[in-house]
Amino acid sequence: MNGLAPRPLTRWIIGIVVGFLFALPLVSTLLFTLKDGDGYSLVHWTSLFDPAKAAVFAPIWVGLGNSLILAVVTVAIVLFLLAPTMLLIALRFPSFRRPFEFLVLLPITIPAIVLVVGLAPIYQQIGRTLGTGAWTLAFAYGITVLPFAYRSIQASIDAIDVRTLSEAARSLGADWFTVVTRVLAPNLRPGLLAASLISVAVVLGEFTIASILNRQVLQTGLVVVNKIDAYASAMFTLMALAFAFLLLLIIGRAGRPSAGKKNS
Amino acid sequence: MTSPDLVAGPDLDRVTSPAVPEPTAPARRGAVRVGWAWLGLVPFTAYVLLFLALPTVLAVGSGLFDDDGAFTLANVAALGDPVILTTFWNSAWLSLLTALIGAIVGAIVCYALLGLPETGAVRTMVDAASGVLAQFGGVMLAFAFIATIGLQGLVTTFLMDGFGIDIFANGPWIYELPGLILPYIYFQVPLMIITFMPALSALKPQWAEANLTLGGTSSGFWQHVGIPVLAPSFFASLLLLFANAFSSYATAAALASQGSQIVPLQIRTALTSETLLGRENLAGALAFGMIVVVAIVMWAYSFIQRRASRWQA
């Protein structure tokens, strides 16, 4: 390991230079939100709770509410549609694994802006049958999170022996529902948790599909408010980035031990 | 293959232990299960067909078929329009430039992270931060850069007040094509860290030790072993970065609220105003053009990646 690793000085120089350049936009945004005339104060942050400014922030709150609903429905799609299908393939159709992997990784290749061209007519139909509720967008988001969610869940499936576990449970008299919910799901918890959290992060950060389809989500709300009150969008930007960072940090902590176990 | 077993199983059991009825039950259930198992794949398949396959076919198809459903190349011919060619060219050089810078800077950061424990605080933080900036930044990165190098941005005013340098002496380029370069690099470098780090971590320390034992130098190791082994992964990541920038929409949409300098923004314009350039279905033609470019790049990516994975067993 020592033969490959850079010298501490090299490591520090790279870390400080790149770290500084990457911190600059975030620090600038933070200082921007603290600006008060020529000095600095928390006046913009306290204005978040000012009823007089509530109308300005309204698009963000509406968008955030919609995004949270979408996050819940998208996580439901991941947990109740993707995960069971992956288990079924692992248990019954192992030969489908490669084609299935190719399929769920496809959304990485197809740009969202291309997908949305084809989604527009589909959502016109959905608008007629299911209504224009915010939650319907989750069908599209479920597709965009597929590659991320798949990788997290598959790592957990690979780390345990689903076949032996389910056969053991079956031979002890458990029905399939019990096998999935009480034997497999608890063992796959790190992967399911990571898949759920990353789905939340993707949904909260999604802009392309929502904006082209004229839906109100957090990111489109930020763009609307940015034109009226740039401080508000800057503050919410910082909070949203910090929240996504926190989610990924939890995923890193939750996902690591199982991956480590597999390797050692 | 299985059916004789299913029939034979219970018969054998009945001979050896006729009093136990269980063997027949699992066998019959097994037979039924295969039938049900196929049905279990139906919901997901239907979902993917409806929300991934159908939109893709519709997007590309609307560029290849006219309103009456007849096959036509008239829309695709629009891709030869000088305006459209310019946007594709803009997209291409912006993606290539930011992919190159992102790949080089990202690889340097990966090198700096080499040897740090994967579960350690530094790696965990860098991984999480990279994930946020590479995948979920979008619109928010645009705002961060407006606060940094916008007309009133921190760096802009610092350079102006401190050194008398007006970075916008030639006009407010941040809201135009050149303004996209820095924000794009800002999400390309983290993506490089995410995609290239596994390849770099897979370099075997034993190789370096063998090199040292045989009297090689550290720079000799990188020149003769490290870089040749990593080159395929590096180029694969470079292609991924190119595709990423090429298909990125959110940051550009938030920064350049008017105009359509790059292909994704041109698609936005085509979708919102029906008769751009006097052509219908232009969005479909543009989507088709984009998919062709991205598909070629991603095909090359998977081809190189397959070669690269030889060293990552």
Residue B164 sits at φ, ψ, to 5 deg, of: 70, 20
Nearest alpha carbon to residue A103 among A54, A149, A147, A60: A147
Question: Would you state the pLDDT for residue B103?
Answer: 93
pLDDT in tens, A251-260: 777 655 444 4
| Both structure tokens of B48 | 């993917």
Taking one residue from A and the other from B, the number of pairs with CB-CB distance under 8 angstroms is 245
Residues making up chain A, counted from first to last = 264
Tell me, yes or no, if B146 comes closer than 8 A to chain A by beta carbon: yes
Running DSSP on this structure, what letter comes out for residue A174? -
pLDDT in tens, B114-158: 878 877 888 888 888 888 888 877 888 888 888 888 877 888 878
User: Residue A117 in contact with residue B58, Cβ under 8 Å?
Assistant: yes
Q: B114 and A244 in contact by Cβ < 8 A?
A: no
User: Residue B274 in contact with residue B62, Cβ under 8 Å?
Assistant: no
Running DSSP on this structure, what letter comes out for residue B23? T
Which residue of B52, B65, B122 is the best one to mutate when testing the A interface, meaning the one whose CB has the most A CBs within 10 A? Answer: B52
Q: What contacts A26, CB < 8 A, 6 or more positions away?
A: A238, A241, B144
> What is the Cα–Cα distance from B51 to A151, expressed in whole angstroms?
20
User: Residue B79 in contact with residue B302, Cβ under 8 Å?
Assistant: no
> What is the Cα–Cα distance from A112 to B87, expressed in whole angstroms?
18
Tell me, yes or no, if B114 comes closer than 8 A to chain A by beta carbon: yes
Nearest alpha carbon to residue B129 among B193, B54, B82: B193
Pairing of strands A35-36, A39-40: antiparallel
Interface predicted TM-score of the whole assembly (ipTM), two decimals: 0.82
pLDDT in tens, A11-68: 889 889 999 999 989 998 898 888 877 777 777 787 777 777 777 888 888 888 999 9
User: For residue A85, which residues of chain B lie inside 8 Å, CB to CB?
Assistant: 40-41, 43-44
Question: If contacts are CB pairs under 8 Å, which of residues 274-293 in chain B contact chain A?
Answer: 283-284, 287, 290-291
Average pLDDT over residues A114-119: 88
Instruction: Give the global pTM.
Output: 0.81
In sequence order, the β-bridge partners of residue A35 are A40
Higher pLDDT, B116 or A143: A143
Residues making up chain B, counted from first to last = 313
Q: Is B277 left (phi over 0), alpha (psi -120 to 50) or beta?
A: left
Question: If contacts are CB pairs under 8 Å, which of residues 62-91 in chain B contact chain A?
Answer: 62
The CATH T-level fold of domain B75-311 is MetI-like fold (1.10.3720)
Q: Rounded to 10 degrees, what is the CA torsion of B84, B90, B92, B98? A: -160
User: Residue B256 in contact with residue B179, Cβ under 8 Å?
Assistant: yes
Tell me, yes or no, if B115 comes closer than 8 A to chain A by beta carbon: yes
> What is the Cα–Cα distance from B63 to B78, expressed in whole angstroms?
10
AA identity, residue A61: W
Tell me, yes or no, if A113 comes closer than 8 A to chain B by beta carbon: yes
Among candidates B140, B145, B250 on the partner chain, residue whose Cβ is nearest the Cβ of A240: B140
pLDDT in tens, B185-241: 999 999 999 888 888 887 777 888 888 888 888 788 888 888 888 888 888 889 989
> What is the Cα–Cα distance from B97 to B115, expressed in whole angstroms?
29
User: How would residue B276 be classed by pLDDT, with cut points 50, 70 and 90?
Assistant: low
Average pLDDT over residues A85-107: 88
Q: Within 10 Å of residue B143's Cβ, how many Cβ atoms?
A: 29
User: Residue A206 in contact with residue A139, Cβ under 8 Å?
Assistant: no
Domain boundaries, chain B: 1-40, 75-311
User: For residue A90, which residues of chain B lie inside 8 Å, CB to CB?
Assistant: none
Q: What contacts B115, CB < 8 A, 6 or more positions away?
A: A1, A2, A4, A5, A6
User: Residue A1 in contact with residue B114, Cβ under 8 Å?
Assistant: no
| Both structure tokens of A224 | 């609307």
| Domains of chain A (ranges, CATH numbers) | 1-41 (no CATH), 54-263 (1.10.3720.10)
Tell me, yes or no, if A9 comes closer than 8 A to chain B by beta carbon: no
User: How would residue B95 be classed by pLDDT, with cut points 50, 70 and 90?
Assistant: very high
Minimal Cα distance from B60: which residue of A? A118
Question: Would you state the pLDDT for residue B4?
Answer: 42
> What is the Cα–Cα distance from B45 to A85, expressed in whole angstroms?
9
Minimal Cα distance from A116: which residue of B? B55
| Both structure tokens of B112 | 């700096």
Longest alpha-carbon distance in chain A: 74
Is the pLDDT at A189 greater than 70? The verdict is yes
In sequence order, the β-bridge partners of residue A36 are A39
Quickly tell me which residue has 């050692």 as its tokens: A264
Tell me, yes or no, if B295 comes closer than 8 A to chain A by beta carbon: yes
